[in-house]
A and B are shown apart, each in its own frame.
Chain A
C-alpha cells in the first residue's frame, strides 16, 4: 500500500507554493515519513520556520506550526522547547534564512545543545526574492546580485553546526530521497541540537543562471557529488575532490542537553529556597 502522506497534511492546504522541479516537496515527504516512523503525537509536535520558500512548509503540516519572521526560527523554537520540553520541536528553513539573517540564532542554538532538530533545505540561493546569493552559494556562481560571479566564500553548514556545538549533524540530498526520512528520524531521536542539511535544488532562480539545463541535470549533480561517509573512508583525497559527504557526519551523546540542564537549575534554586 502506498504511504499515506495526507494524514499529516492540513486539508485544503495543497497545492504548495513551490515551483515544479524544486526539491522542497521531496524533503517535506521525507520529514513526514520520519514523523510517521517515530509515531510522534502531532498535538505534541511543533514545526517552526522563518521566511522563505522552505519556511512555507509548516503551513502544510497538521501539527503545532509557527511561521515566524526572517531568520528567527531557532530562537522561537528555543522558547517553545524551554517552555515545554516534552514537545517535539523541529525547525525547517532555507540556507539564507538559517545561516545569514538567522546565523546568530542558529549557532547559539547549536551551542546550547537544546533538543531541537533543524532541517536546513540548502538550495544555495534566496529563491523567494528571486535568486540572490546566499551564504552557501558557491564562489564564482551567478545569482541576481552576483552578475559577474559570486566573490563571497561560502559556509559549509554541517561544519558550521559542528563547530558551534551541535551534537548531531547529518547531510543528505533531495536526490537521495529514501535517506532523508532516516536522517531526520535519527536526528529527532537524538537528545540535543541536531542539524540535518539537505542539499536541494532551485531550478527557477539558481539552476537557470548557472548553466543547469534541466531539473534532471540538477538532481544528477546531487547524485554525483554525494559520497556516503562510509564510502569516503576508503577513498583518497584526490577521489574526494569536489565531493560532498552525506550521512551522519557527527554525533556526540556526552554533551548535556539544555532543557535537562535547566531542570537542574530549577532543582538547585528550589533546594536553596
Chain B
C-alpha cells in the first residue's frame, strides 16, 4: 500500500505530527506566523473527540494545556516570539512540576513585536534561558516540512519519556514553506505512552524517585489523589524548603535531560569526513548551508556541515570532537550570534568560529556562506 502523500506547509505538518503522536488537547492563542497550527487543530481535534480551545492569552493557553496534561491528555500549543516570552512563566512551572507538553514556537523577528512576518532564529537562547531558575530544556529545530512532522512526533515522545516540556522551533521559512510530506503509517514511528503509576493510589507519590529520575505521572480523575505545586517540592509533591530535598529535586530535574543527552540529541553530518571548514547550521539556514557546501566542494574546498536537529541539549560532545580536526567553523544564523556562543564554548579556542548574522528578515544565502568559507581556508 502506498503511503499518504500531501503538499503541506510546515505549520500544517506540525499539526498532523501532533495528531500522529496522539495529541488530544490543544490550547492556543492566535499569533503570526504560527496561527495555521491552531486552525488545523481546531478542525481535526473534534473529529477524533479531542479538545481544542482558544484561550484569552498565551499564558492562559499554557495553563489550560498543562491542566489538561495533568488530567492525562497529550497536549500541544503553538506560538511565536512574543507568545514565547509570555509562556516563560509556565514553561518554568512545567519544568519544576514535571508536566509533559509540547510547545511549537515559530521564530519570527524580534525582540517584542519585531517583524511578525519575517523569519528569524533569535528565540533559541530564550528556549533555554527564558524562564527563571535552573531547569532542563529540550528544543528541536527542524529544517524541512517532513522533518517538522517528524520532530513534533519526537517532541511528544521526549516530553512523555522525560516528563518535561519540549519546544519545537522552526523558523518562519520552514513554518510557511510548502513541501511534499510522506505520512508515516500508524505505528511506523513508535509512540511513547505516558508512564503511569503501578502502585495503588494510597502509595503513590508524584515525584517518587524509587522509579528512577523520571517518576510515573498519574492523571487527575483516574483514582489517584495527588498534589502538584509550582513551589519547590519533595517527592510527595508537597511544598518544601528543606535544603537537601530542594537540592536533590532540582538536580534531578536537570539531570533527567542532561544525562540522557545522547538519547535526545539528533543531528546530521554532511560531508564531514574530510571537512576542513564546517558549517554549523539549523532550520532553513542549513538549507543554504548544504547548497554552499556543495558549491564549495565543486571549487575544491573541503567543506562540510553539522546540522543541528536538537538545539537543546546542545551537541557539545560532537562539536568538541570536530573542533580538534577542522580549520574553522562557520555559523550562519538569523540572529546576532546565538548558536555561535555555543559553538565557541565547545571549540575551546581550537578552531575559529565565524558567524554570519542577519536580522533583517531576509534568509542567509549560500553565497554569503561560501564567501565566509574562503576566509577560513
Contact, CB under 8 Å: B63 / A84: no
B239 within 8 A of A: yes
B4 within 8 A of A: no
Knowing A43-B223, A43-B225 are in contact, say whether A83-B72 is a contact too (CB < 8 A): yes
Knowing A64-B220, A266-B46 are in contact, say whether A76-B64 is a contact too (CB < 8 A): yes
From B227-235, B267-275, B315-323, B325-333, give the one contacting chain A: B227-235
Query: Which of A59, A67, A83, A268 sits near B25, CB closer than 8 Å?
Result: A83
1/0 contact trace for A247-273 toward B, CB 8 Å? 000000000000000100110111011
> When chains A and B are docked, how far (Å) is the Cα of A155 from the Cα of B226?
34
Query: Which residues of the other chain, A, contact B61 by a CB distance below 8 angstroms?
Result: 75
Query: Which residues of the other chain, B, contact A80 by a CB distance below 8 angstroms?
Result: 67-68, 70-71, 220
Contact, CB under 8 Å: B225 / A66: no
A204 within 8 A of B: no
> When chains A and B are docked, how far (Å) is the Cα of A75 from the Cα of B71?
14
Return B55 CB to nearest CB of chain A, in Å: 6
Given A75-B64, A83-B67, 5 more A-B residue pairs with CB atoms under 8 Å apart are A43-B222, A65-B226, A66-B229, A69-B63, A75-B55
Query: Which residues of the other chain, B, contact A10 by a CB distance below 8 angstroms?
Result: 227
Q: Give the number of residues in A that approach B within 8 Å (Cβ atoms).
A: 42
Query: Which residues of the other chain, A, contact B223 by a CB distance below 8 angstroms?
Result: 43
Closest 3 interchain pairs by CB? A79-B67, A75-B63, A79-B64
> When chains A and B are docked, how far (Å) is the Cα of A265 from the Cα of B55?
16
Knowing A265-B46, A270-B47 are in contact, say whether A79-B221 is a contact too (CB < 8 A): no
Interface size class of B (residues with CB under 8 A): 35 or more
A58 within 8 A of B: yes
Return B133 CB to nearest CB of chain A, in Å: 12
Contact, CB under 8 Å: B221 / A86: yes
Query: Which of B59, B71, B231, B239 sits near A79, CB closer than 8 Å?
Result: B71
Query: Which residues of the other chain, A, contact B53 by a CB distance below 8 angstroms?
Result: 78-79, 82, 262
Query: Which residues of the other chain, B, contact A75 by a CB distance below 8 angstroms?
Result: 55-56, 59-61, 63-64, 67
Contact, CB under 8 Å: A66 / B228: yes
A42 within 8 A of B: yes
Contact, CB under 8 Å: A59 / B47: no
A195 within 8 A of B: no
B27 within 8 A of A: yes
> When chains A and B are docked, how far (Å) is the Cα of A174 from the Cα of B225?
28
Contact, CB under 8 Å: A108 / B56: yes
Return B224 CB to nearest CB of chain A, in Å: 7
Contact, CB under 8 Å: B63 / A79: yes
A–B pairs, 11, beta carbons within 8 Å: A51-B230, A66-B229, A67-B230, A69-B90, A78-B53, A79-B66, A80-B68, A82-B25, A104-B56, A108-B55, A266-B49
B252 within 8 A of A: no
A159 within 8 A of B: no
> When chains A and B are docked, how far (Å) is the Cα of A63 from the Cα of B230?
17
Contact, CB under 8 Å: B71 / A83: yes
Contact, CB under 8 Å: A84 / B227: no
Query: Which residues of the other chain, B, contact A108 by a CB distance below 8 angstroms?
Result: 55-56, 60
For window 252-306 of B, CB contacts with A under 8 Å fall at none
B57 within 8 A of A: yes
A37 within 8 A of B: no
Contact, CB under 8 Å: B63 / A43: no
Query: Which of B51, B64, B220 sits near A87, CB closer than 8 Å?
Result: B220
> When chains A and B are docked, how far (Å) is the Cα of A241 from the Cα of B224?
50
1/0 contact trace for A43-63 toward B, CB 8 Å? 110101001000000110011
A13 within 8 A of B: yes
Contact, CB under 8 Å: B60 / A72: yes
Return B358 CB to nearest CB of chain A, in Å: 36
Contact, CB under 8 Å: B70 / A105: no
Knowing A66-B70, A78-B53, A79-B65 are in contact, say whether A46-B46 is a contact too (CB < 8 A): no
B183 within 8 A of A: no
A77 within 8 A of B: yes
Query: Which of B60, B221, B226 sits near A105, CB closer than 8 Å?
Result: B60
For window 163-195 of A, CB contacts with B under 8 Å fall at none
Query: Which residues of the other chain, A, contact B224 by a CB distance below 8 angstroms?
Result: 43, 64
Contact, CB under 8 Å: B225 / A62: yes
Contact, CB under 8 Å: A13 / B238: yes
Contact, CB under 8 Å: A84 / B220: yes
Query: Which of A82, A86, A272 sits near B64, CB closer than 8 Å?
Result: A82
